[in-house]
Copies of this chain bind each other. A is one copy, B any other.
Amino acid sequence: MYIGVDYYPEQWPRTQWDKDIQLMKTLGINVVRMAEFGWSLMETEEGCYDFSLFDDVMDRFDRAGMAVVLGTPTATPPPWMVEAYPEIQPVDKNGRTVSIGARRHYTVNSRTYQGKTRQIVEAMGRHFRHHPALIGWQVDNEYGHEASDRSYGEEDARAFRQWLERKYGTLENVNKRWGTVFWSQVYTSWEQIPVPLPVYQEHNPSLLLDFDRFCADAYDIYNQLQVDALRTWIPDSQFITHNFVYSGLALDQKKMAENLDFISFDNYPVWGGLAEPIPPAATARQLDLCRGTKQETGYWVMEELSGAQGWSQIGYLPRPGHLKLWTYQAISRGAEAIVYFRWRAARFGTEQFCHGILDHDGVPRRKFDETKEVIQSLETVGDRWITAEVTADIGFYHDPENEWAWKIQPQSDQFDYAQEALRFYEPAFAWNVPVDMIREDADISRYRLIIVPLYFLTKPGFQEKLEYYVRSGGTVVFTYRTGVKDADNIVTEKTLPGSLAALVGAEIHEYESIRENNYAVIEGVKGAVAGEKAEAHVWCDYLVPDTAETLAVYRDGWVDERAAITKNSVGEGKVYYIGCGVNTDFLYTLYRDMFEDAGVSIMETPKNVEMVRREGKSENFISIMNHDTEKAGEITLPPGTWTEPATGEYFQERMVLPALGSMLLVQHCEN
Which residues on A are within 8 Å of B, measured CB to CB? 8, 10-11, 37-41, 44-45, 73, 76-80, 82-83, 90, 92, 94-105, 146-148, 178-189, 191-194, 196-207, 273-275, 308, 310-317, 319-320, 345-353, 360-363, 365-366, 408-413, 488-496, 509-513, 515-518, 557-558, 629-630
Contacts and interface: CB of A to CB of B under 8 A. Distances in A.
A198 B352 contact: no
A510 B557 contact: no
Name the residue in A39, A73, A361, A495 with the highest tally of chain B Cβ atoms < 10 Å from its Cβ: A361
Given A182-B11, A192-B79, A513-B310, A201 B350 contact: yes
Given A103-B201, A179-B11, A345-B491, A512 B83 contact: no
Contact of A509 (B45, B182, B365): B365
A274 to B, nearest CB: 8
B188 A100 contact: no
Contacts of A361: 492-496
The 8 closest A-B pairs by CB, nearest first: A179-B348, A182-B349, A40-B186, A79-B192, A76-B184, A102-B199, A275-B515, A314-B513
A352 B194 CA distance: 20
Given A188-B44, A188-B45, A101 B491 contact: no
6 contacts: A10-B181, A101-B194, A101-B204, A202-B350, A204-B349, A361-B495
A274 B518 CA distance: 11
A519 to B, nearest CB: 11
Contacts of A515: 274-275, 315-316
Given A77-B184, A308-B513, A314 B362 contact: no
A206 B350 CA distance: 9
Given A362-B493, A411-B310, A411-B312, A179 B79 contact: no
A180 B100 CA distance: 12
Contacts of A197: 99, 101
Nearest to A9: B181
A490 B360 CA distance: 10
Contacts of A200: 90, 92, 98, 102-105, 146-148
Given A205-B350, A348-B178, A491-B347, A199 B99 contact: yes
A11 B105 CA distance: 42
Contact of A95 (B96, B199, B492): B96
Nearest to A489: B348
Contacts of A178: 348
Contact of A313 (B78, B275, B412, B630): B412
A263 B192 CA distance: 35
Nearest to A349: B182
Contacts of A192: 79-80, 82-83, 100
B275 A517 contact: yes
Contact of A184 (B40, B186, B320): B40
B191 A83 contact: yes
A350 to B, nearest CB: 5
Contacts of A11: 179, 181-182
Contacts of A512: 308, 314, 316-317
B194 A99 contact: yes
Given A44-B186, A44-B188, A101 B352 contact: no
A346 to B, nearest CB: 6
A338 to B, nearest CB: 23
A146 B201 contact: yes
Contact of A557 (B92, B184, B629): B629
B275 A98 contact: no
A185 B40 contact: yes
A480 to B, nearest CB: 13
A101 B199 contact: yes
Contacts of A39: 184
B348 A275 contact: no
Nearest to A175: B40
A37 B184 contact: yes
Contacts of A76: 183-185
Given A11-B182, A184-B77, A363-B495, A102 B311 contact: no
A499 to B, nearest CB: 12
Nearest to A92: B198
Name the residue in A349, A351, A362, A496 with the highest tally of chain B Cβ atoms < 10 Å from its Cβ: A349
Contacts of A207: 101
A96 B197 CA distance: 10
Given A40-B186, A361-B496, 9 more contacts: A40-B181, A76-B183, A102-B200, A102-B203, A147-B200, A201-B350, A313-B513, A315-B515, A348-B489
A198 to B, nearest CB: 6
Nearest to A100: B194
A344 to B, nearest CB: 10
A565 to B, nearest CB: 20
A648 B73 CA distance: 80
A289 to B, nearest CB: 23
Nearest to A488: B348
A80 B189 contact: yes
Contact of A183 (B102, B181, B353, B513): B102
Given A41-B186, A347-B493, A493-B362, A101 B196 contact: yes
